[in-house]
Structure 1
């Protein structure tokens, strides 16, 4: 392997390496990026991976992010004369992978662009120039010579509506772009350190792929018809070579679990319009946290029959406002009409603006849904500015509210049916009363907790169990900081009553509460018995909860004679 780092002040570097016969990767390493896409936090930066395949003809698979323009183009032209590139394979048109397509076409106007029908349509919309193209579907092939026969696999909604995977039969390499990727930046080209990358791999799946679990399974069925896969050349993070089977099967297992959900919400968005795709993804992430499945549908590319089937089988509908006019207006308007025609009484609905500059108004459409007998799953989200971290958090919380409304009846039934001797015995495990408070960027969160246990002396640390559908869960990733506020026996009732309230998505959890700011930026509850400043070290998944281990960096007791409030339950199958 030959690595050639090129450093800049912003810690953007390039790594090149030969990965299989006649195939070179150009990895753009973004060391300091800490937010991505739907604004979920990154702990380890990210990479944007591109590939050159040299047969008798030459193919370039994906490009890079526009921030790497000069670094990437200098590296590419140092490896190959752009005039010799025959094909540019577009896995999908999201800007972090296709941001330099126009630059490549300027350097290599002879290139034939290869992609799905939807991808080519999207490219025409932002390249604004003519180019040669080949539209490909699942099972179709492109022979580069020297044994490099590329076979294409359609993978819509993973996590972009135009996604294709590309399998090189000659090297048994699968080029997957976002699929099987992770936001993890390091000099290690491959996945040899599984324990190090596993949390980021799973987190990436949860944020981008879980809302599309059924599409993941459909794409994997098509993958199963390919030959042996020895290398997965993804678009983000280290390439998969040492743990290919293990990591692919994790996708299958996670997706099968997600797709078994009793209820589904159809989430409709308009790709490449405003922030529709990102806002919809944030809402979908909130829904999946409650155990409800999601079906993501692009109004630009979906046909009426597909929409009819999805809406008919869904318990809820989320709809991003389409543009009033434009290239796709007729198709998107027709599809919205189909949704209205198929929507039925007792379904839940939630609407959001896309901030695309010309959104269809929410209120007339919401009135029509209400007249059809649908329940409002969350207050309409009206985006009046470029979405901030707080807006994305609001979207996630709105999705969680919708999911919780859909699962309420099931939870009540479970509580009634599980009131057994075992549940009564588990309920006798006592716990203290605590309030977790956290701040990340513009977002603040809080949660009443009782499952807290000291776990280490040096460094001092403890574990806390956090339900997956808690809003604060997204603020407690590895590396995040928070405060554990310990409530005092006899004085905890006002704080407990306040934080047990059901807060509307995006609302201020601390309004009316006395607070001060800890060294790590999170709120300290002034009326608490004590507080600990904490940093998340690791997380362990336990079905419906995360067990979060954190080290303590600072703390103080306000009343040395006070005792920790204790919480007793009658049964152990709910709080």
Structure 2
């Protein structure tokens, strides 16, 4: 079960190959995930985080095969969410007095979830815990990355940063380390994880990265809570986060639409053509919202400088999948992005106005009044849509 990370540090977590959704059904995990727990065995034995509750019995049983549980001196919980702390009740039933080190907010979280008053020890940034042989764990609070209770722990001498949710991905991989991962898949899952989970906290993250860098700590390994452990040039993911947290965008325009009888789709295809005619360098992508995974769409929004939204009018408004996606965009608080709207209608034609209003509320800068077309687009309407695409590219 144990997999060596470095010296006396081993991975003791769980690889979940079958996971297809996370946070309930709110986040798609096409590549599964891992729940990374770590065991430090120096003069003191320290367990860092556990696994998700469905695997609690398996986790504790496997841990018992590796060590006498009574020899665990300390437990560090970097974040109280159940995918990290879910095995605590099973474990603490066997070693109820073992000290748990976590933030003050994590105490609230753990008590609120499990209704147990375990032996909590509150730590804050700069606090240390000796593990013997001249090594210490140094704690760094990371509030809102992505919960108020989050923190990281740094093991001196071995230079391992146990970063919890920061720098992770939902990616099941048997060899654990980033140098064994498919580089393209790893990049895709890392940016998807950031876009869908950490985007609202980019401002906080930017300051926290500056704080971590200012500590001038040598980092040989970044041991995340999900996905790969970064050991081959581990700071590459820190550099990516530094880009992603700074109002990130690529030279990309994304068209997102839903359609009832293909009219709005035809407009979208003509807009696509117009953008390409005007700007040969910009990457243009087009997705049918109702037929595409919402978290994959959010990743494309994250990469885009402009998002073009399309919906026909229904019930004096827009189609439900479009409204739901805009709601998610608003929650994620994107910055420095533009939007334009288009749609077909038969009678009243409010969809474009509604799209503009909702995208403005979501924090996007609106380009023009949008493109409305009554009934199925004819040749003139298609020409208008091409010109609308050109105008978007110029904007």
TM-score (norm 1): 0.48
* SS in structure 2 of the partner of residue 56 of structure 1: coil
CA distance in 1, matches of 2:107, 2:311: 55
Q: CA deviation at 1:30?
A: 1.1
* SS in structure 1 of the partner of residue 40 of structure 2: strand
Residue 296 (structure 2) aligned to one of 454, 473, 477: 477
User: Is the Cα–Cα contact under 8 Å of residues 154 and 219 in structure 1 kept in the other structure?
Assistant: no
The residue that corresponds to 1:572 in the other structure is: 390
* SS in structure 2 of the partner of residue 574 of structure 1: helix
User: Is the Cα–Cα contact under 8 Å of residues 143 and 149 in structure 2 kept in the other structure?
Assistant: yes
CA distance in 2, matches of 1:252, 1:108: 41
The residue that corresponds to 1:151 in the other structure is: 138
The residue that corresponds to 1:202 in the other structure is: 191
User: Is the Cα–Cα contact under 8 Å of residues 258 and 311 in structure 2 kept in the other structure?
Assistant: no
The residue that corresponds to 2:3 in the other structure is: 17
**Alignment of 1:214 onto 2:34:** no
CA distance in 2, matches of 1:136, 1:466: 48
The residue that corresponds to 2:96 in the other structure is: 109
Superposition pairs of residues 110-509 of structure 1, within 5 angstroms: 110-192=97-179, 193=181, 194-224=183-213, 225-257=215-247, 448-450=268-270, 465-466=285-286, 474-475=293-294, 477=296, 498=313, 503=318
C-alpha spacing 1:199/1:84, structure 2 compared with 1 (3 Å): same
Q: CA deviation at 1:464?
A: 5.6
Residue 36 (structure 1) aligned to one of 22, 30, 52: 22
CA distance in 2, matches of 1:476, 1:156: 24
C-alpha spacing 1:249/1:144, structure 2 compared with 1 (3 Å): same
User: Is the Cα–Cα contact under 8 Å of residues 61 and 90 in structure 1 kept in the other structure?
Assistant: yes
User: Is the Cα–Cα contact under 8 Å of residues 55 and 147 in structure 1 kept in the other structure?
Assistant: no
User: Is the Cα–Cα contact under 8 Å of residues 448 and 496 in structure 1 kept in the other structure?
Assistant: no
Q: CA deviation at 1:473?
A: 6.7
* SS in structure 2 of the partner of residue 256 of structure 1: coil
Superposed CA deviations along residues 81-100 of structure 1, whole A, max 9, x for unmatched, are 11011111011100011011
Structure with more of its chain in strand, by fraction: 1
The residue that corresponds to 1:420 in the other structure is: none
User: Is the Cα–Cα contact under 8 Å of residues 57 and 87 in structure 2 kept in the other structure?
Assistant: no
Q: CA deviation at 1:253?
A: 1.1
Give unpaired runs (5+ residues) of structure 2.
274-282, 298-309, 325-363, 365-378
The residue that corresponds to 1:390 in the other structure is: none
C-alpha spacing 1:244/1:434, structure 2 compared with 1 (3 Å): closer
User: Is the Cα–Cα contact under 8 Å of residues 114 and 135 in structure 1 kept in the other structure?
Assistant: yes
C-alpha spacing 1:474/1:496, structure 2 compared with 1 (3 Å): closer
Q: CA deviation at 1:70?
A: 2.2
Superposed CA deviations along residues 505-527 of structure 1, whole A, max 9, x for unmatched, are 55799xxxxxxxxxxxxxxxxxx
CA distance in 2, matches of 1:249, 1:86: 35
The residue that corresponds to 1:555 in the other structure is: none
**Alignment of 1:84 onto 2:74:** no
CA distance in 1, matches of 2:17, 2:219: 29
C-alpha spacing 1:55/1:570, structure 2 compared with 1 (3 Å): closer
C-alpha spacing 1:31/1:450, structure 2 compared with 1 (3 Å): farther
CA distance in 2, matches of 1:476, 1:168: 34
Q: CA deviation at 1:213?
A: 0.6
Superposed CA deviations along residues 132-154 of structure 1, whole A, max 9, x for unmatched, are 22111111111110132000101
C-alpha spacing 1:163/1:435, structure 2 compared with 1 (3 Å): closer
- RMSD between superposed Cα atoms in Å: 3.6
C-alpha spacing 1:571/1:102, structure 2 compared with 1 (3 Å): closer
CA distance in 2, matches of 1:20, 1:239: 11
Q: CA deviation at 1:497?
A: 5.8
The residue that corresponds to 1:362 in the other structure is: none
The residue that corresponds to 1:66 in the other structure is: 53
User: Is the Cα–Cα contact under 8 Å of residues 83 and 110 in structure 1 kept in the other structure?
Assistant: no
Superposition pairs of residues 522-541 of structure 1, within 5 angstroms: none
CA distance in 1, matches of 2:107, 2:388: 60
CA distance in 2, matches of 1:133, 1:448: 56
More RCO (CA 8 Å, sep 6+): 2
Give unpaired runs (5+ residues) of structure 1.
5-15, 261-289, 291-432, 439-444, 454-462, 479-494, 510-543, 545-561
C-alpha spacing 1:507/1:201, structure 2 compared with 1 (3 Å): closer
CA distance in 2, matches of 1:18, 1:90: 20
Q: How many pairs were matched up?
A: 304
C-alpha spacing 1:507/1:228, structure 2 compared with 1 (3 Å): closer
CA distance in 1, matches of 2:389, 2:222: 47
Superposed CA deviations along residues 119-174 of structure 1, whole A, max 9, x for unmatched, are 01222223333322211111111111013200010100111110010000121000
